[in-house]
Amino acid sequence: MKAPNFQYARASSLDEACAILAQHGDAARILAGGQSLMPTLNMRLSSPALLLDINRIEALRGITVDGDMIRVGALVRHAELAESVIIRRHLPLLSEAIQHVAHPAVRNRGTFGGSIALADPAAELPACAVALGASFVLMSRRGPRVIPAEHFFKGLYETERHPDEILTETRIPAQKPGTRYGFAELARRHGDFAIVGLACTQTEALRLVFFGCEDRPRLAREAATAKGIPAAQAALANDLKPMANLQGSAAMKLHLARVLAGRVLAALQTVPA
């Protein structure tokens, strides 16, 4: 199939991109890696009046250390994330999770910001952002907004981003000494979207974030405070309300979430603080 007709604009600066979005709003779609957008255009699941290409905006690139914060630009490719010494040293959860994101050809073009802004409920990076306590910087002509990852995802492909805003960067606290982390997912094939997945971190508190279960990454609060692995697994019945889809029933997803919780929590106990 072919994409519907649309106008095309390529911004060379963040100010120019914000001006275009202020004019076109919800009629525009932002093109970064295009690994999800282009298929939806070709299948006519999306029909924007304007496609805004942001790939030449240098301000959206780069992975940097800013004190105890890691800044990841929206245009950082998945492959860059996988190869980054900064990420391996300060955010090893991301280094592990990125190996599960699609396949090399997709990782060479797909972007960190694109995955976050798309908010696919089965994607790895949004769940990791919540587990890591990240915040997202959004820019428009009105100025910047900073939204914690925990409050950014609203539902199926829905976020707190307004139509005239661009996600410019993600700010993630660097892993503290003594922090443990865990990641696991179940998929039909390596690189497919997860049927169920789990990203977690543990410093003073444990953060368990499940993905692929609901319409957004879900922080399992009751399970995180349960005493012992069996109690945590049982508590997931209160934390999660899985949705049935082509991947499986709600009951199956809850069962798999408990399986992953058992595996990841057992592994955390064997990792030295």
pLDDT digits (tens, 9 = 90+) for 207-250: 999 999 999 999 999 999 999 999 999 999 999 999 999 889 99
The CA distance from 263 to 257, in Å, is 10
- 223 and 122, same structural domain? no
In the Cβ-directed half-sphere of 95, how many Cα atoms lie within 13 Å? 12
For the entire predicted model, the pTM comes to 0.95
Domain that holds residue 47: 7-53
- Measured CA to CA, the distance from residue 98 to residue 95 in angstroms comes to 6
Cα(95)–Cα(189) distance, integer angstroms: 20
Picking from 147, 173, 199, the residue at the C-terminal end of a domain is 173
Is the pLDDT assigned to residue 80 strictly greater than 80?
yes
pLDDT of res. 133: 97
Of 190-194, 218-222, 238-242, 258-262, the one with minimum mean pLDDT is 190-194
Question: Does 1 reside within a domain?
Answer: no
User: pLDDT tens, 99-109?
Assistant: 999 888 989 99
Is 142 a domain residue? yes
Q: Is the pLDDT of residue 44 over 90?
A: no
Whether residue 11 is predicted with pLDDT greater than 80 in this model: the reply is yes
Q: What is the dihedral of CA 93, 219, 124, 116, to 10 degrees?
A: -110
